[in-house]
Amino acid sequence: MLEIRHLSKSFGRHEVLRDIDFSVRPGDVTSIIGASGSGKSTLLRCINLLETPTSGEILFHGESITGGKLNANTYRSKVGMVFQSFNLFNNMTVLQNCMVGQTKVLKKSPQEAKENAMKYLRQVGMEPYIKAKPRQISGGQKQRVAIARALAMEPEVLLFDEPTSALDPEMVGEVLSVMRDLAQNGMTMLVVTHEMAFARDVSNHVVFMADGVICEEGEPKALFADPQNQRTREFLSRFR
């Protein structure tokens, strides 16, 4: 579904990503792990066109997303994003948050957008809160709404950038549980996370990054049990 080929990204003279290569097949759940500053967010931002790669390419179903042939807005609507800080519209209700992209971008009728939004809000357990504003709900609930909002656009792949890092510890579980259900239902997901249990138990592929390069990647159980790279070993030892 996605192929990242020789992707590099610099900000001025600072090379933040160097020769990144990996691919995502439909139904893959890929966790991206690594220390802060290693380039994980920049990689996701390149994949959803929030940043332009300095070199290399990203293919979506074999077509370059930067090459011009594929329409940027069409592509963006197929790649959902969930942020650490939720990024909900604070002046809108939970339901409106999950409708606005559908009516504005996908040009759905309000009726259709509402039915679809309700379906996904039900899926994440937020149906009882449809009239609430973001400030009236907890962080975990906000993140579940943000996931429903992304799902309501019916993306082919969902990108998560540390979706539980801004949450109080007692709220991490409810968000991970929604993500685990999505993974089990076959959603293609790319997840930047510090939740090593999620990376090991839920994803089918793990990518370890350090200083803008992929140091090691592989099947999660093997990578966690027996990391081959010294930097992977050092990184993982902090979580034991």
Residues that bind ligand ADP (CB under 6 A): 11, 14, 16, 34, 36-42
CB within 8 Å of 148: residues ≥ 6 apart:
98, 117, 120, 121, 123, 124, 126
CB of 211 to ligand ADP, least distance (A): 9
Q: Which of 122, 182, 114, 121 is nearest to 146 (CA)?
A: 121
Q: Is 48 in the site for Mg ion (CB under 5 A)?
A: no
CA distances, 187 to each of 87, 147, 150, 197 (Å): 22, 12, 12, 19
The kind and range of the H/E element at 120 are helix 110-123
Q: Which does 67 bind (CB under 5 to 8 A by kind): Mg ion, ligand ADP, none?
A: none
Interior angle at CA 36, CA 31 and CA 40, nearest 5: 40
In whole angstroms, how close is the CB of 161 to ligand ADP at the nearest point?
7
Shortest separation between residue 188's beta carbon and ligand ADP, angstroms: 21
Contact of residue 56 among ligand ADP, Mg ion, none (CB under 5-8 Å per partner type): none
Of the ranges 5-13, 41-49, 85-93, 128-136, which one interacts with Mg ion (CB under 5 A)? 41-49
Q: Kindly give the interhelix angle for 139-152 and 169-184, rounded to the nearest 10 degrees.
A: 20
Cβ nearer to ligand ADP, comparing 52 with 74: 52
Which helix or strand (DSSP H or E) is residue 60 part of? strand 55-60
Strand partners, 205: 30
For residue 42, the surrounding DSSP H or E stretch is helix 40-47
Q: How many residues does the chain have?
A: 240
**From the list 41, 48, 97, 164, which residue makes contact with Mg ion (rule: CB under 5 A)?**
41
Query: What is the smallest separation between the CB atom of 106 and Mg ion, expressed in angstroms?
Result: 28
Q: Are 169 and 193 in contact (CB under 8 A)?
A: no
Residues in region 127-166 near Mg ion by CB under 5 A: none
- Residue with Cβ nearer ligand ADP (114 or 231): 231
**Shortest Cβ distance from residue 233 to ligand ADP (Å)?**
19
31 is in the binding site of which of ligand ADP, Mg ion, none (Cβ under 5 to 8 A by kind)? Answer: none
Nearer to ligand ADP by C-beta: 41 or 123?
41
Residue nearer to ligand ADP on the CB measure, 86 or 129: 86
Interacting residue ranges for Mg ion, rule: CB under 5 A: 41
